[in-house]
Amino acid sequence: MLSFRLAEDQERLRARARAFARDVVAPHVEEMDRTNNYPWPVVKAMAAEGFMGLTIDPRYGGGGRPLIDALLVVEELAKVCGTVARICVDANTAVGKAIAEYGTEDQRARYLPKVVAGDKPAIAITEPDVGSAATSITTRAEKRGDHYLLNGEKRWITGAGVTGLYLVFARFEGKDGAAGIGGLLVEADTPGLSVPKVRVMMGVRGMPEGDVVFKDCKVPAANLIAPPGQGFKRLMTAYNVQRLGAATVALGIAQGAYELACGYAVRREQFGQPIGEFQGIQWMLADMRIQLEASRLLIYRAAAEAGHGFPDKVDSAIAKVHSADTAVAVTNMALQIHGAAGYSCDLPLERMVRDARMFSIGGGTAQMQRNLIGREALRSAKTQIQEVAE
- What pLDDT, in 10s, does the model give residues 27-84? 999 999 999 999 999 999 999 999 999 999 999 999 999 999 999 999 999 999 999 9
Torsion (CA) 168, 172, 177, 179 in degrees, nearest 10: -100
The answer as to whether 196 is a domain residue is: yes
- Asked which of 123-137, 236-250, 274-288 is least confident by mean pLDDT, the reply is 123-137
Q: How many other β-carbons are positioned within 10 Å of the β-carbon of residue 302? A: 27
pLDDT digits (tens, 9 = 90+) for 194-226: 999 999 999 999 999 999 999 999 999 999 999
At which of 82, 116, 150 does a domain end? 116
Q: Are residues 108 and 140 in the same domain?
A: no
Distance CA 129, CA 280 (A): 46
* Domain enclosing residue 170, as ranges: 122-228
Residue 91 confidence class, pLDDT cut points 50, 70, 90: confident
Mean pLDDT across 324-335: 98
Pairing assessment for the beta strands 165-172 and 181-187 based on DSSP bridges? antiparallel
Q: Are residues 103 and 152 in the same domain?
A: no
Pairing assessment for the beta strands 224-226 and 181-187 based on DSSP bridges? antiparallel
How many independent structural domains does the chain possess?
Answer: 3
The answer as to whether 58 is a domain residue is: yes
* pLDDT at position 4: 66
Q: Are residues 224 and 242 in the same domain?
A: no
The answer as to whether 291 is a domain residue is: yes
Residue 255 confidence class, pLDDT cut points 50, 70, 90: very high
Distance CA 296, CA 283 (A): 20
Q: Are residues 254 and 330 in the same domain?
A: yes
Residue 135 confidence class, pLDDT cut points 50, 70, 90: confident
E strand segments, the chain: 122-124, 140-144, 147-158, 165-172, 181-187, 193-199, 209-220, 224-226, 269-270, 273-274
pLDDT surpassing 50 at residue 254: yes
* pLDDT at position 94: 82
At which of 74, 96, 116 does a domain end? 116
Q: Are residues 86 and 139 in the same domain?
A: no
Residue 2 confidence class, pLDDT cut points 50, 70, 90: very low
Distance CA 194, CA 200 (A): 18
Q: For residue 340, what are the contacts with CB-CB under 8 A and spacing of at least 6?
A: none
Q: Residue 43, class by beta-carbon neighbours within 10 Å (0-12 exposed, 13-18 middle, 19+ buried)?
A: buried
Q: Are residues 140 and 170 in the same domain?
A: yes
Q: Are residues 290 and 372 in the same domain?
A: yes
Q: Are residues 282 and 215 in the same domain?
A: no
Q: Are residues 188 and 48 in the same domain?
A: no
Of 83, 232, 60, the C-alpha closest to 158 is 83
Give first-to-last CA distance, the chain, whole Å: 30
The answer as to whether 2 is a domain residue is: no
Q: Are residues 328 and 258 in the same domain?
A: yes
At which of 116, 133, 161 does a domain end? 116
Taking CA atoms, 378 is separated from 252, 312, 321, 385, in Å, by 32, 17, 18, 11
The answer as to whether 56 is a domain residue is: yes
* pLDDT at position 92: 86
Question: What average pLDDT is seen over the chain?
Answer: 93
pLDDT surpassing 50 at residue 1: no
Mean pLDDT across 220-237: 88
What are the beta bridge partners of residue 184? Answer: 168, 224
The CATH number of whichever domain residue 187 belongs to comes to 2.40.110.10
Mean pLDDT across 280-286: 98
pLDDT surpassing 60 at residue 3: no
Q: What percent of the chain stands above pLDDT 90? A: 84
Q: Are residues 128 and 218 in the same domain?
A: yes
The CATH number of whichever domain residue 323 belongs to comes to 1.20.140.10
The answer as to whether 3 is a domain residue is: no
The answer as to whether 380 is a domain residue is: yes
Q: Are residues 378 and 255 in the same domain?
A: yes
Mean pLDDT across 357-363: 92
SS3 content of the chain, % helix, strand, coil (to 5): 60, 15, 25
What are the beta bridge partners of residue 149? Answer: 142, 218
The answer as to whether 1 is a domain residue is: no
Q: Which carries the bigger pLDDT value, residue 236 or residue 299?
A: 299
The CATH number of whichever domain residue 24 belongs to comes to 1.10.540.10
